[in-house]
């Protein structure tokens, strides 16, 4: 994988947000903005994009089109991604998929899908915290029963 | 108006983003997150919400429901908002409203509506920067012609 | 309550951390550091301290002693703190107090004590995430049974 | 004194830096930029300006002219500034004024003037750290001799 | 090219700004400061310097001299810089050079020189926003006429 | 050496602080948190860990256990660390070790041990600034006498 970086000191934050959206749609694995202090007291932004090498050209083009940067640099990165499994839990507000991550055969992550929790929370008029904690609760129960 | 503040050091950023959305829907004038260094090396968040006094109770309730904070503080703020006028410009990709701000009778802001620029840019497959700069260009032409 | 602010552009971060510790010991309700971009490209710090008015003089003295600031400003703040209750849950690694917050008679917060979770996690060689999620799980069970 | 705030989510960091310079020239006591996360993933800026009430109108005008904000809010602040005295020390590279701050009759600050240290450091081709630490060293010697 | 990093948790922000200036004078392509939360609640700074390999030794020396760091790390970076062309536009306040960037034969950037805009704005007593937008406007007119 | 990175957008800052502590205990050379703006307005954290390659597996395991991340990336880094020497100074409050750093045979750093200064300051009820500056003063005297 590659980590792309571009410094931006003359670009509206609104445009940056649009660039983020387009980069993600075009296959970036992650995009985030780091606040930085630049020369001449400019409160600029360091854009970081994580992607497969095969997406490099497409993502560079978007960065040049949508931001005001004149240069992009990139670094090759080794990556370790957890093996994943899913289960589904039934909350009072609807079903929620839960993503689990395994490291050397041991479950280390157990993460209810945020987007589903947020949708159910909105529909039911409860907080996303409530739905998320309940889904986590049920997932733990289910995993414990299966062990 | 009021500026509300809550410190959060034990809340998932995902939930914070959901809280922002709900606060804006419930009438907050502005919501933003400030990164802070807290005690015991916690990389926490200071939430700031700007709102009319009439929205205070509703927004406090959302903050308590959607984040993990146990306390909210608030400060009365005097506000100066610019008088506003709108014009519309016709770009090659569609019409864009342009918001102008006046301070003591002089125009100081001239701002194409970002959401419209972004939609047109997406539809036409051009960058939002391109649409935004063109809209600004046309607004200046129109204002100059009218002076 | 009061919110104190001091800008620091010529002080070692090490000293700042020491100041935070002393301020908390002397009765500050909260202390946090906000990163800012200052004049002449200085990457400074805005210190914020929340305290009761009765602590003002003691905390100002600490700020002047431990940081390099020449001025402190402060703002009166209205505060809304949740009513609190505690329960205790028995996890496999030991007992954990859980703090609950009530807003208009409804429970909105349910927060296992971090310091206890962290101590138990260390002693047992498990992650704090594991202990914290288990405590939350048990608290929910207990609350549900009692409703 | 007053603390002014403006949120900026569509303004080039270059312009912001220019606004800072003009605000300071027009009598602001302090200007700094805080990085914030805004709605729709915008990496915006919260501008804070500290000033006397007498400068309010002039500084608001500059903020409206030089940034893209449509609104400014402000808060009255109580301030505590240290009583100040100066002494001068003779380093190997030239004289440096040292500013001292007194809190309740006790010296709590002792701060060589940065701008002078930086100029001397440049002229002599040494580091500003070297000049600053030497000036501090000499100031402490001088104060000790006088006590 | 190389990306240099140094962590600083015991250095005055004033000195950091001086280091930035010297690094840029000594040939660094870019220098910026990233705010970080370090161990023991220290609000530190991560300095990043982008430079050609030929400048490595000179810039390391400046970092060691001007900051308090005991270690510097660096990463080789691939870089993609846009091909550049310049044109000049005549605004009401004076001439402004405009830098254009080309990606695969298409113009993607069009950027009036900030330093010139700022100087003209100061001389004429208008905002840099005004001069910059006018220069952009004229550059677009000129480019359109030539197409 | 290696620089590890993990993005966290769904993890309590309290847990992050615990992860930092465990990473340092397990041999990380440095750990710090960078505030970032992520997709969907999440105010997330980029964790960076600097370590020897021999610690990679142990530190990855801690990151997976203690945070909620599903992926870690890492980059090989060249490092330049200063040669170090120590001296001890006797302040009025006790002895303080002072670490000196040498670059090409020239002393460029002279840094009193913060932890010792902080302990002495606490015991004596003076500020750490006072103890630190005194230790620096005495170290400079001692070095000068020896030259």
Express each pLDDT in C117-130 by its tens digit.
999 999 999 999 99
pLDDT for position C144: 84
Q: Find the CB nearest E24 among A39, A65, A73.
A: A39
Binding-face residues of D in 99-138 toward E, CB within 8 A: 114, 118, 121, 127-130, 132
> Given pLDDT bands bounded at 50, 70 and 90, which one contains residue F62?
very high
Residue located via tokens 């840099």 = E128
State the Cα–Cα distance between residues E21 and A107, nearest whole angstrom.
49
Residue D147 has pLDDT above 80, yes or no: no
Beta strands across the sheet bearing B83-91: B83-91, B94-103, B106-112
Domain span at residue E52 reads 2-76
DSSP B38: -
Could you write out the DSSP letters of every residue in F59-100?
A: HHHHHHHHS--SEEEEEE-EEEE-EEEEEEEEETTEEEEEEE
Q: What is the CATH number of the domain that holds F19?
A: 3.30.70.1380
Output the pLDDT for position A122.
Answer: 95
Reported ipTM? 0.95
F64 with F94, same domain: the answer is no
Distance in angstroms (rounded) separating the CA atoms of residues E3 and E73: 8
Identify the band that residue E108 occupies on the pLDDT scale cut at 50, 70 and 90.
very high
CB spacing of B14 vs F13 below 8 angstroms: no
pLDDT of residue B96: 98
Mean pLDDT of E94-121: 97
- Closest-CA distance, A35 to chain E, in angstroms, reads 7
pLDDT value of position F21: 96
**Residues of A with CB below 8 A from C35's CB?**
35
One domain, residues D8 and D72: yes
Q: Are F6 and F72 contained in the same domain?
A: yes
Query: How confident is the model over F102-143, as pLDDT tens digits?
Result: 999 999 999 999 999 999 999 999 999 999 999 999 998 899
Do F97 and F128 have their domain in common?
A: yes
Does one domain contain both F8 and F44? yes
Q: Provide the pairing of β-strand A106-112 with B2-8.
A: unpaired
- When pLDDT is cut at 50, 70 and 90, the band that residue C2 belongs to is very high
Q: Are residues C95 and C59 in the same domain?
A: no
pLDDT tens column, D85-144? 999 999 999 999 999 999 999 999 999 999 999 999 999 999 999 999 999 999 988 998
> What's the gap in Å between the CA of F78 and the closest CA on chain A?
14
For D42, the token pair is 């915008």
Supply the pLDDT for residue B145: 87
> What are the pLDDT digits (tens) for C52-106?
999 999 999 999 999 999 999 999 999 999 999 999 999 999 999 999 999 999 9
Domain match, D50 and D87 both: no
Burial state string for D31-58 with b = 16 or more CB within 10 A and e = fewer than 16: bbbbbbbbbbbbbbbbbbbbbeeebbee
Question: Helix E56-66 to helix D128-146 angle, to the nearest 10 degrees?
Answer: 10
Give CA angle at D83 (D81, D86), nearest 5°.
Answer: 125
User: Using the beta-carbon criterion (under 8 Å), do F3 and E61 form an inter-chain contact?
Assistant: no
Question: What 8-state DSSP symbol labels residue C28?
Answer: -
Same domain, C133 and C88: yes
Distances (CA, A) of F136 to A39, B21, D92, D134, F139: 30, 51, 18, 10, 5
Q: Of the residues E76, E109, E129, which one is the last residue of a structural domain? A: E76
**In the prediction, which pLDDT does C145 show?**
87
Of A95-104, B135-144, D17-26, D39-48, where does mean pLDDT reach its minimum?
Answer: B135-144
- Residue B87 and residue B72 in one domain: no
Mean pLDDT, all residues of chain F: 96
Do D71 and D89 fall within a single domain? Answer: no
Q: Tell me, what CATH number does A88's domain have?
A: 3.10.20.300
Nearest-CA distance F88 → chain E (Å) = 19
Task: HSE, CB side, 13 Å, CA atoms: give it for residue C96.
Answer: 29
Q: Does the predicted TM-score (pTM) go above 0.95?
A: yes
Domain count, chain B: 2
Picking from B14, B42, B76, the residue at the C-terminal end of a domain is B76
What residue ranges of chain B have pLDDT lower than 70? Answer: 147
CA dist list (Å): E51 to B5, C8, F76: 41, 30, 18
CA–CA min distance B66, chain F (Å): 14
Q: Is D77 on the interface with B (CB under 8 A)?
A: no
Q: Is the pLDDT of residue D146 over 90?
A: no
**Cβ–Cβ gap E14/C10 under 8 Å:** yes
Question: Read out DSSP for C73-95?
Answer: EEEE-EEEE-EEEEEEEEETTEE
Decide: C34 and C78 in contact? Cβ < 8 Å: no
Identify from E16, E108, E129, E135 which residue to disrupt to test chain A contact, counting A C-beta atoms within 10 A and taking the largest count.
E108
Residue E47, chain C, CB below 8 Å: the answer is no
Share of chain D above pLDDT 90, in %: 95
CB pairs under 8 A between A and F: 70
- Of C54, C76, C98, the last residue of a domain is C76
A 10 A CB-CB count for C15 gives 24
| Together in a domain, D109 and D61 | no
Q: C14 and E16: CB-CB below 8 Å?
A: no
Q: What is the mean pLDDT of residues D60-72?
A: 97
Asked whether residue D69 falls in the same domain as residue D115, the answer is: no
- Residue E11: both structure tokens together: 């250095």
Q: Residue A12 above 80 pLDDT?
A: yes
């Amino acid at each position: 994988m590659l980590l792309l970086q571009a410094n931006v000191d003359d670009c509206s934050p609104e445009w940056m947000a649009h660039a983020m959206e387009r980069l993600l749609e075009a296959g970036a694995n992650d995009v985030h903005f780091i606040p930085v202090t630049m020369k001449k007291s400019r409160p600029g932004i360091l854009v970081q994009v994580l992607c497969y090498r095969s997406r490099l050209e497409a993502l560079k083009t978007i960065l040049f089109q949508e931001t005001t940067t004149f240069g992009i640099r990139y670094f090759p990165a080794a990556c370790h991604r957890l093996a994943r499994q899913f289960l589904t839990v039934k909350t009072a507000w609807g079903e929620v998929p839960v993503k689990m991550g395994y490291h050397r055969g041991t479950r280390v992550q157990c993460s209810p899908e945020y987007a589903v929790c947020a949708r159910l929370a909105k529909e039911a008029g409860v907080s996303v915290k409530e739905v998320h904690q309940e889904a986590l609760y049920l997932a733990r129960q289910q995993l414990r029963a299966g062990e």
